[in-house]
Structure 1
Amino acid sequence: MFLKEVEPYIVIAQQEWKLNLGSNARNLAVEFSKTRPVMYVNPAIDIKTSLLSVNTAAGRKRLHIALGLYPNTIQVADNLWVHTPSSVNISINWLKQVTLYNMLNKSNAKRFFKSLKKAIDELGWQTNKCVVFNDSQMFTGLYTKEYLQPLLNFYYIRDNLIEHPYFKFHGSRIEPKTIQHADSVFANSSYLAEYARKHHSLSIDIGQGCELEIYDAKKHYTLPDQYKSIPHPRIGYIGFLTGERLDIALLEELAMKKPEWHFVFIGPEEIMFQQSRLHAMKNVHFLGAKKPEDLPAYMQHLDVCLNPQLINPLTVGNYPRKIDEYLAMGKPTVATDTPAMQMFLPHVHLAKGVSGYISAIEAALNEQSAAGASEAISFAKAHTWQACVEKIYQTQKQLLHV
């Protein structure tokens, strides 16, 4: 099915489509494709990455596509195509000389958009009738209007990337310019929308979509075998365990001060967690990574769910998708008090510091009312990709005066 009556969307993504990680850009592309043709654009490969991966079959194929030796636009679903740029970027992030960096960045962007424009033409679309939705590709995105000239150019922020070491040096000066060049900016939290509003007045918090179909609070899930040796109360976190985003020191203090509570961690660990004191504590249990379809059972049999976020410039504006998952299962939830978490009140307990967390967990352990759980479930279930996309379409209509 091909829909000619609406504007095609070009989603310029940070992540490869094939990773299938449920990234925001991929989720939004799928939602866009329900009403219009969509092209999801993989990031261009760079010379450094090519050299590091050339000895693998996937790396060689990726390089061959970049060199134009294989087809680089494939249809993956109704109204949805994936384009892999037939270009290889010069690796330039290490350059500190701004003039030289700017020149090479513009050269990278020119090759990227040349490949993209060719793909658009091959599908029979008209570039000036396409809407670009740029998933924080700030460096390439600076030249969208110059090299592509789309109908509209949208920029999307779902992480405070300029605080990440890779993006910080050049991104802190380039992202504001990319934002200014956009027709509108969208963010998945009020904090990030406020940041964008400093550079563009039409910066809108569209919220966050979540895939909550598998989380059914009314269903009874069998107790996982790993839980049978873990007493109540079980206080748990489910997700990637990284010291860059989670407060390990806080968790260590909580586990020491409350030995009668059992702390359960479910998910893959990076090195900072592996080396933490948590592994030596008898009331701390690391259960490893699980299949997505198994997570509701592990979640249901926790007494309290946690999001012990570390507050730093990288995380302070993040929308924590796991909170929606916890609430969709009707679980009492305690999380670090950040600006992005305010929208979840009164359905969560917010806390700061060890004493604040102890008080919040104690409150969460009190029996939750059926009405309170029902309201939390309804609140979480309202956070859909459809709701996000409807806000984008409303802005598009406003800009096009239709």
Structure 2
Amino acid sequence: MKKILFVSHTFMGGPFVVGSHHLARAFSELGHKVIHLSTPVTPIHHLKKDHITKMKIARSNEINQINENLIDYIPFSIGLPWSMMRPIYNNLKINFSVLFLKSNIQKVIKSFFDTLEIDYLIIDQPTMVGIENLVTAKKVIYRATDLYAEMMNDTSILNAEKNIIKKVDGLIGTSKPVLNHITAMNEELPSLLVENGVNFKHFSEEREMPHLYQNFIGKRAIYAGAIDERLDLNAIIDLAKSNPDVHTIVIGPLNDETIKEQYKNLKNLHFLGSVDYNDLPAYLQHADVALLPLSNHKANNGRSPMKLYEYLAAGLPVVTKKTDELVNRDEKNIYFYDDINKTVREVISLNLQKNDVKENIGKYGWEHKAKLVYEFAENL
């Protein structure tokens, strides 16, 4: 049994389920003891009004027991969020938001593990730089899931990554561009490519059609995920405008409600907001085609989108914008578009069988990914 601490950018139990959540669960189900720790809440967060921040505040400084071997913890720091802390960090190389967490984090570690010494510290969140100095770990791994500096439009992230990498024993990237980025900072460190996986059983087991779909008669195209600058929302809207006979469904938190108001007259465009992770497979399975319309944002070059395999596990062919990373995956039932309208209609006309689409996707399960990470850590 290993004692493992994940330091993640996303808390468990919110609207987004990310790779660290799946890996933490997989490790816990293999019998290891796991703490999943995410970016702290600060006093500045209390000034924000969005739903996700309110959820995070409500859960902060409390132990969320996921199962017998796994807890999730959102710490509270009297420091500042990274967006305000980064000038101080760039000058002093001290991340006070993390430094102020020392006693709380050590208290949680001691309580759950019965010792302050852990086996693996796996860091996904570069803005938690400094955490590697607060924890006594036998093996430290930096697991980068994105080109963070480009995704956040924040070059200070590069300094944070460089300083984390000075203290780690190994590097994991979830895509080739991400792995190339972090290994360039220290080519001598052991490294491994572990692409994001899928909870195959969760997405593939058949579910009843959502009641809401009774109003969406006809073909259904669906997008489920974050609605931010990495998404080409205009492509989705254009799809709905050009194909009135296709219901275009968007699932994900919509921060700008004026978008929904602006297109309320498009009767085949449906912004459903957040859908619980447990209910999401039903919405996917009873659609006809999945959408992954990526914008030209530089961060998309390094993405290893989990939803790609979640779509496929649900039996949906995927229509997406081409990136080198996705082309290199060389997966069946992924269709790259220049004209999203044309490609969506072509894919719908193929009338692909869902069982054929989901075939062989089970090999990307998180259990297998966790074993790859474990073997890598053991051999460091």
TM-score (norm 1): 0.77
**Corresponding residue to 1:394 among 371, 375, 379:** 375
SS at match of 1:323: helix
| Equivalent AA in structure 2 for residue 45 of structure 1 | V
- Is the alpha carbon distance of 1:245 and 1:52 closer, same or farther for their aligned partners in structure 2, counting shifts above 3 Å? closer
SS at match of 1:182: coil
CA contact (8 A) 1:239 1:268 kept: no
CA contact (8 A) 1:131 1:153 kept: yes
- Is the alpha carbon distance of 1:28 and 1:20 closer, same or farther for their aligned partners in structure 2, counting shifts above 3 Å? farther
**Corresponding residue to 1:175 among 161, 164, 167:** 161
**Corresponding residue to 1:364 among 337, 343, 347:** 347
- Is the alpha carbon distance of 1:95 and 1:101 closer, same or farther for their aligned partners in structure 2, counting shifts above 3 Å? farther
| Equivalent-residue separation in structure 1 for 2:131 and 2:226 (angstroms) | 37
- Is the alpha carbon distance of 1:241 and 1:179 closer, same or farther for their aligned partners in structure 2, counting shifts above 3 Å? closer
Query: Post-superposition shift, 1:374?
Result: 4.4
| Equivalent-residue separation in structure 2 for 1:294 and 1:94 (angstroms) | 37
**Corresponding residue to 2:67 among 67, 73, 77:** 77
| Equivalent-residue separation in structure 2 for 1:87 and 1:220 (angstroms) | 42
- Is the alpha carbon distance of 1:102 and 1:394 closer, same or farther for their aligned partners in structure 2, counting shifts above 3 Å? same
| Equivalent AA in structure 2 for residue 393 of structure 1 | Y
Match of 2:17 in 1: 22
Match of 1:32 in 2: 27
CA offsets, 1:120-159, max 9 Å, x none?
34543252x52111122x2433451x44342111112223
Deviating more after overlay: 77-86 vs 243-252: 77-86
CA contact (8 A) 1:221 1:297 kept: yes
| Equivalent-residue separation in structure 1 for 2:272 and 2:109 (angstroms) | 47
Give the RMSD, CA atoms, in angstroms.
3.6
Alignment of 1:195 with 2:185, yes or no, is no
**Corresponding residue to 1:211 among 185, 199, 215:** 199
CA contact (8 A) 1:39 1:80 kept: yes
Q: Which has the higher contact order (CA 8 A, sep 6+)?
A: 2
Match of 2:320 in 1: 335
CA contact (8 A) 1:44 1:89 kept: no
CA contact (8 A) 2:290 2:317 kept: yes
Alignment of 1:125 with 2:115, yes or no, is yes
Alignment of 1:45 with 2:41, yes or no, is yes
**Corresponding residue to 2:288 among 288, 293, 303:** 303
SS at match of 1:181: coil
Alignment of 1:263 with 2:253, yes or no, is no
Query: Post-superposition shift, 1:22?
Result: 2.7
- Is the alpha carbon distance of 1:183 and 1:384 closer, same or farther for their aligned partners in structure 2, counting shifts above 3 Å? same
Query: Post-superposition shift, 1:186?
Result: 1.7
| Equivalent AA in structure 1 for residue 39 of structure 2 | P
Match of 1:162 in 2: 149
| Equivalent-residue separation in structure 1 for 2:55 and 2:244 (angstroms) | 50
| Equivalent AA in structure 1 for residue 45 of structure 2 | T
The structure with more radius of gyration: 1
CA offsets, 1:6-49, max 9 Å, x none?
33111223233454743322322222223222222343332323
Percent identity between matched residues is 18
Query: Post-superposition shift, 1:238?
Result: 3.2
Unpaired stretches in structure 1, ≥5 consecutive residues: 1-5, 66-71
| Equivalent-residue separation in structure 2 for 1:84 and 1:261 (angstroms) | 41
Matched residue count: 372
**Corresponding residue to 1:384 among 340, 365, 378:** 365
Match of 1:12 in 2: 7
Match of 1:3 in 2: none
| Equivalent-residue separation in structure 2 for 1:210 and 1:179 (angstroms) | 28
Query: Post-superposition shift, 1:392?
Result: 0.9
| Equivalent AA in structure 2 for residue 188 of structure 1 | T
| Equivalent-residue separation in structure 1 for 2:89 and 2:313 (angstroms) | 50
Query: Post-superposition shift, 1:275?
Result: 5.6
